[in-house]
């Protein structure tokens, strides 16, 4: 479906999501990861994933993995029709909150130096550069970014509000989740 319908809902990933995640990954990256590779990531020890869905369609995912108290963002993607609506920011904030509840204190990731949307999203959530890997993505460098969750988990995520949700969500107002 296209953006603008029912408000996205977030939930944890499971092995059964491998196929839909691989399809979404292939729409967002070249080359994409196939279903088998995605299933291996989803079932690996420490896998922590969050998905956004609307009307049964997966429109975004954030996949992390945890090793004791360290986390890593393995991949994240938002369907092209749903970008620039704050969805990636809210979903990653939700995934970071889930990681914090599993005892993760610090999260790192690699992002292509020329991926301006992702660089801006991560920095908006408070990630800061801690290193650079030369030619990590073919001829493109990767920045290594890190975020200390202890410093941010008590604050509301700095994401654009879910405008669609405010217009279409029939649930009564209540406490908003914090990350």
Ligand X SMILES: CC(C)(COP(=O)(O)OP(=O)(O)OC[C@H]1O[C@@H](n2cnc3c(N)ncnc32)[C@H](O)[C@@H]1OP(=O)(O)O)[C@@H](O)C(=O)NCCC(=O)NCCS
The residues that touch ligand X, with contacts defined as CB under 6 A, are: 28, 76-78, 83-89, 111, 115-118, 120-121, 124, 159-160
Q: Which residue is nearest to ligand X (CB)?
A: 88
Q: Tell me the closest approach of the beta carbon of residue 72 to ligand X, in angstroms.
A: 11
Q: Which is nearer to ligand X, 18 or 59 (CB)?
A: 59
Q: Tell me the closest approach of the beta carbon of residue 71 to ligand X, in angstroms.
A: 14
Q: Which is nearer to ligand X, 119 or 172 (CB)?
A: 119
Block residue for tokens 């939930």? 11
- Is the separation of the CB atoms in 162 and 134 below 8 Å? no
Q: Tell me the closest approach of the beta carbon of residue 89 to ligand X, in angstroms.
A: 3
Q: Which of 66, 146, 147 is nearest to 99 (CA)?
A: 66
Q: Which is nearer to ligand X, 71 or 88 (CB)?
A: 88
């Amino acid at each position: 479906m296209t953006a603008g319908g029912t408000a996205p809902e977030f939930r944890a990933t499971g092995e059964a999501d491998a196929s839909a995640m691989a399809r979404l990954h292939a729409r967002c990256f070249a080359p994409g990861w196939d279903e088998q590779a995605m299933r291996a990531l989803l079932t690996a020890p420490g896998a922590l994933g969050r998905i956004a869905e609307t009307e049964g369609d997966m429109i975004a995912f954030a996949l992390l993995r945890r090793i004791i108290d360290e986390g890593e963002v393995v991949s994240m993607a938002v369907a092209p029709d749903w970008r620039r609506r704050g969805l990636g920011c809210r979903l990653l904030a939700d995934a970071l909150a889930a990681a914090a509840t599993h005892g993760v204190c610090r999260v790192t990731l690699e992002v292509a130096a020329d991926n301006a949307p992702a660089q801006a999203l991560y920095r908006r959530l408070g990630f800061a550069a801690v290193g650079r890997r030369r030619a990590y993505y073919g001829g493109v460098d990767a920045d290594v970014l890190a975020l200390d969750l202890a410093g941010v988990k008590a604050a509301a995520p700095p994401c654009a509000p879910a405008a669609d949700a405010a217009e279409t969500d029939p649930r009564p107002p209540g406490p908003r989740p914090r990350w």
